[in-house]
Structure 1
Amino acid sequence: MTVAHNVALTEQKSMQANWQTSLPDSAVAFSFAYYLQQRADVPVGIILSAWGSSSIEAWMPRDLTKELAYFNTIMQEFDADADRIAKINRILSGPLPWTRIDDVYLRRQPNILFNAMMNPLVPYTVRGLVWYQGERNTQSMHGLVKDPWYKNNSGMLKYKDALQAWIKRYRQQWDNSDMHFMLVMLPRFNALLNTSPTKEARHPNAHSWAWMREAQLAAQSMKNVAVINTIDLGHPTNIHPLDKLPIGQRLANAAARNTLHQTVEAQGPVLAKAVISGSNVRLFFEHVEGLRTVNSKAPAEFWLANDSQKWVKDDAKIRQNTVLLSSPSLQNPLYVRYAFSGFPQVNLINAAGLPAQPFRTDHFEP
């Protein structure tokens, strides 16, 4: 069922949508449903409620203003903007289809997509929700950009709290504290913000999508939340990469593991601990069986630093399902970052062919 694009200034109880057996417009939704049906051996129904380039704030109920101060600021500014509200009403009362300019204008507003495209679905019985979003919130680090207005959102550093508050609020909306959420991590993309302290795209200090991925991965601390790792996918310059099929496959495997309780490896290596010994750092992982690289070369995209916060590339080796790091140019390494850039050239996988999850062990502020 594909929910028609629409907005509303107040929460709605109905929407325009019909169940059908034709293919959806989303390759991720289709491949997820297809592979999950193979694993479950039962019919799978997918409700597709999505609108490209929308922010997470567009899908927030208004009462999240009580919990998220920055969202309260956004909604206060929205309510005070009579011209903006008048334009929204003018578009909604005008002819269809909307012009592309009007379509983009509507999708970039806060709250009103939730009102029209999500609230009517509640409390429809669903096992979980797949959330593939984040690009619109990568336009700044700290958010609340004043000009242009449509960049006024969480930014990458506030997204962590925004996403977790949003998940909790949706569970309340559905009256289901066990509702499963599967978040698709943003894949590789080579963009840097103008605020970046370095223009070296693969440097771990750059203001890249790495910070958004960290915000997404933090939600794994919540019950029944999984993050689908896409750090080996994507395109350096195309924000709409074509490699969607692996995302659907990984989503289906995660759903089979988490909701159908099937035995399937649905996750790549995840850092368990880092042990420092002199000039070496040894990394231990979970989901590590068959640790190897896809090209039989040394593990790539590991960086080391000490308290100077100067990051250097390391020499990495696989040793008995661990990764051993060292760098001849760094004394007393303390911290590690892995795949912490917009478009890292990763090659570390497990026996299931799934990529290692990006991480950093430091707590330096960007």
Structure 2
Amino acid sequence: MTMIKLNPLFTDNAVVQAEKDFFLTGQVSNKEEVQVRFGELDVKTTSDESGYFSLILPPQKYGTIGDITVKTELAEKKVHVQFGDVFLFGGQSNIEFKMADEAHFQAEKERVAQTSIDLFFINVPQVEYEDNIETIPSTVSWEEWKPINSETLAEVSAIAYYSMRRYKKKYPNRIVGIVNCSKGGTSASSWMSLDFLKKSKSLNQNILVPYQQAITGKTREEFDVKWNTYQAIAESYYSLRNQWVEGHPNLSLIDIKKKIGHSPWPPPITPYSFLRPAGLYYTMFKKIVPYTFLGVIWYQGEEDTQHGYLYEELLSMLMKQWRADLQAEVPFYIVQLPLCVDKPNHDWPAVRQAQAKIAENMKATFLVTSLDCGLPDNIHPPEKNVLGERIGEIIQQRYYSSSPTANVIAKEKDKIVIEIKNAESLKVTCEECIHTNADNFTVSIKKNMIEISVENNQELTTVEYAWSNAPIPALFNEVGYPVSPFKIECKDS
């Protein structure tokens, strides 16, 4: 008997995007007729030579609930679905970060226990490597969509939960679905195909070529020895660090790292590592597309601060790849990196600048600043509620569709005028937050305009705000969103 395998997002309780054409894809026998029924909808198609079939089905109203039946001559599969809004959350550890570890987990657990919130989620299994023989780790598997309640809240991405809870305040009667496709420690290059990486000369030379050089000519046994050695070092380090944390409660993580050193990272690169270029693209993302989403929330970049000069091209290429695979110009909401002093040799300002540029220049792309949501000594801030709420507000355009950014509207030899977009007025918490090349200069702020003038016939060449790995956020718009860091070269090129 033939088997019917659907896109793994199609399980019971699946949330399907309402009021948009939606994709239904799957695998049956080759050249087999497939019939799909949903209510009065009854359509047929034929699978290709590999058994793959794909249908684009017409929009359904919000709140529609029922069974989609997929049938072949010898098999039938029925899935109970509901139509609402679906969002894809992608990136690395701060998206992966679960509610179980979030600062307000117990309070939120009590909250959801008291009311039904019509929020559902599914976590894409974190398959690090697979071939026809093995899957790493061997214990991961797909689970069905689950409602968010007191029993399941611990498993949900904290950023996703808070942002969708905020989103539902505007649309309380809509069912909302969260798809979490993330993995800590990953570069954007892990989430792109080899073909897309090869399209770029710089990405090929700086990412693919070094990876190939690192794995060429080595055996599986050699890789296993390197990996086991690293694991032992990491376990020893974290055991020591935990002892220091417990024994020295007055010391910050920064102080402790000065005593015992930085955590061992990254692990050795191998052909089986989840950090390898294009790895998770094939083992995680590719498995869920095409699927219809209302938006993608992308929170990633920490790992790519080691080569920040590449990030604008990396992220723009990733977005093009994902939109091509999703077969839609789905909106992207880019969470800009918060402050962090971890890894001081890495270039956090360059990544933040790239994120702001892409939000400015690519269609249907929006920026969410988070400079006020980080901790200098902790790359994983345990409080996700403020940033999550901000993401939800920007998605629903409660105040603005994007966070405030700088735009130069006039510049002369001794003066520059900067407009802060997505702001009506500015709150300044530190008068000396703006820096220039000049010894003497004045800063005047009126509403959302910043005018900087130099004195003594000096020439203004550079203006900076929050241009460091861990700056103190000091400029906010009237609703409390931090202004994106900026560095402006005042001389015309």
Contact residue 269 and residue 357 of structure 1 kept, 8 A: yes
Q: Percentage identity across aligned positions? A: 24
- CA distance 1:243–1:79, shift in 2 (3 Å): same
In the alignment, the residues of structure 2 paired with residue 269 and residue 156 of structure 1 have an alpha-carbon distance, to the nearest angstrom, of 22
How is 1:57-72 mapped onto 2 (pairs within 5 angstroms)? 57-68=189-200, 69-70=204-205, 71-72=207-208
Q: Which residue of 1 aligns with 2:314?
A: 162
Structure 1 residues 313, 51: closer, same or farther in 2, change over 3 A? farther
Residue 313 of structure 2 is aligned to residue 187 of structure 1: no
Moved over 6 A (4+): none
Measured against aligned partners, the alpha-carbon deviations of 1:156-183 in whole angstroms (never above 9, x if no partner) come to 101111110111011111111x211111
SS in 2 for 1:126: coil
**Structure having greater relative contact order (Cα 8 Å, sep ≥ 6):** 1
The residue type paired with residue 287 of structure 2 is: P
Shift of residue 66, structure 1, vs aligned partner: 2.8
CA-to-partner distance for each residue in 1:14-62, whole Å, 9 max, x for gaps?
9623211222342111111211122222121001111111111211112
1:284 is the counterpart of 2:284: no
Aligned counterpart, 1:248: 388
CA distance in 2 between counterparts of 1:330 and 1:239 reads 43
Deviation at 1:108, TM superposition (A): 2.2
Q: Is the 8 A contact 1:55 1:137 kept in 2?
A: yes
1:18-97 counterparts in 2 under 5 A?
A: 18-21=144-147, 22-23=152-153, 24-41=155-172, 42-68=174-200, 69-70=204-205, 71-74=207-210, 76-77=212-213, 80=216, 82-83=218-219, 87=223
With over 3 angstroms needed to count, the CA separation of the structure-2 counterparts of 1:158 and 1:340, relative to structure 1, is same
Distance in 2, matches of 1:170 and 1:84, equals: 32
How far residue 276 of structure 1 moved from its aligned partner, in angstroms, is: 3.3
3-state SS of paired residue (1:340): coil
1:111 to 254, 267, 278: 278
Alignment of 1:257-336 (within 5 A): 257=397, 264-277=399-412, 279-293=414-428, 295=429, 298=431, 300-305=432-437, 315-327=442-454, 331-336=458-463
Aligned to 1:225: 365
Gaps of at least 5 residues in structure 2 are: 1-121, 228-234, 239-263
State the match for 2:352 in structure 1.
213
| 1:268/1:349 contact within 8 Å kept | no
> Counterpart of 2:477 in structure 1: which amino acid?
N
Q: Distance in 2 between matches of 1:327 and 1:192?
A: 35
Distance in 2 (CA, whole Å) between partners of 1:234 and 1:313 is 32
Aligned equivalents of 1:2, 1:329: Cα separation in 2: 60
2:189–2:278 CA contact under 8 A, matched in 1: yes
Distance 1:241 1:312 in 2: 37
- The more displaced of 158-167 and 340-349 is 340-349
> What is the rounded CA distance, in whole Å, between the counterparts of 2:372 and 2:457 in structure 1?
28
| Distance (whole Å) between structure 2 residues aligned to residue 10 and residue 77 of structure 1 | 22
Q: Are 1:2 and 1:18, in contact at CA under 8 Å, matched by a contact in 2?
A: no
Give the number of the structure whose alpha-carbon radius of gyration is greater. 2
Look up the match of 2:97: none
Distance 1:38 1:19, change over 3 A: same
Q: Which consecutive residues of structure 1, in runs of 5 or more, have no partner in the other structure? A: 92-98, 140-154, 195-206, 258-262, 306-310
1:196-239: CA deviation from partner (whole Å, max 9, x where unpaired): xxxxxxxxxxx641111112222111111112111222111111
TM-score between both structures, scaled by the size of structure 2: 0.57
Q: 1:151 matched to which residue of 2?
A: none
- Judging changes above 3 Å, is the alpha-carbon distance between structure 1 residues 113 and 104 closer, same or farther for their aligned structure 2 residues? farther
Compute the displacement of 1:65 (Å). Answer: 3.2
Relative to structure 1, the CA distance from residue 52 to residue 104 in structure 2 (aligned partners, 3 Å threshold; closer, same or farther) is: farther
* 1:119–1:211 Cα change, 3 Å: same
Aligned twin of 1:345: 472
**2: distance between equivalents of 1:173 and 1:78?**
30
- Between the aligned partners of 1:160 and 1:363, the Cα distance in structure 2 is 22
8 Å CA contact retained: 1:188, 1:235: yes
Per-residue Cα deviation, 1:76-101 (whole angstroms, up to 9, x for no partner): 4466354369858xx9xxxxxxx999
Distance 1:87 1:118, change over 3 A: farther
Q: Distance in 2 between matches of 1:320 and 1:124?
A: 43
1:217 aligned partner, one-letter code: A
SS for the counterpart of 2:452 is strand
Corresponding letter in the other structure for 2:286: N
**Contact conserved, 2:436 with 2:464, CA < 8 A, in 1?**
yes
Equivalent position SS for 1:303: strand
Distance 1:264 1:354 in 2: 10
Q: Greater strand percent: which structure?
A: 2
> 2 CA distance for matches of 1:53 and 1:363?
36
Amino acid at match of 2:319: I
C-alpha contact 1:192 1:342 (8 A) present in aligned 2: no
The 1:268–1:108 alpha-carbon spacing in structure 2 relative to 1, beyond 3 Å, is closer
